[in-house]
Amino acid sequence: MDLLKEKILAEGIAVSDEILKVDGFLNHQVDPALMQDIGQAFAEHFKNQGITKVATIESSGIAPALTTAAALGVPLLIFKKQASKVLNDALYQTIVTSFTKTTSYELSLSKKFIGDKDHVLIIDDFLANGEAASGAIRLLHMANATVAGLGVVIEKSFQPGREKVAEQGVSVHALARVKKLAKDVIELH
Rounded CA gap, 49 and 28, in Å? 31
Among 92, 126, 137, 172, binds ligand 5GP (CB under 6 A): 126
- Closer by beta carbon to ligand 5GP, 74 or else 133: 133
Interface residue with ligand 5GP among 54, 76, 122, 128 (CB under 6 A) is: 128
What span, in angstroms and rounded, lies between the C-alpha atoms of 138 and 145? 10
Instruction: Quote the CA–CA distance of 12 and 7 in Å, as a whole number.
Output: 7
Interface pick for ligand 5GP out of 43, 65, 127, 186 (rule CB under 6 A): 127
Closest CB 57 distance from ligand 5GP, rounded Å: 6
Please give the angle made by the CA atoms of 60, 161 and 178, to the nearest 5 degrees: 75
List, as one string, the DSSP characters of 157-178.
TTSTHHHHHHTTT--EEEEEEE
- Binding characters for ligand 5GP, 139-178, by CB under 6 A (x = yes): ----------------------x-----------------
Residue 20 found at the interface with ligand 5GP (CB under 6 A):
yes
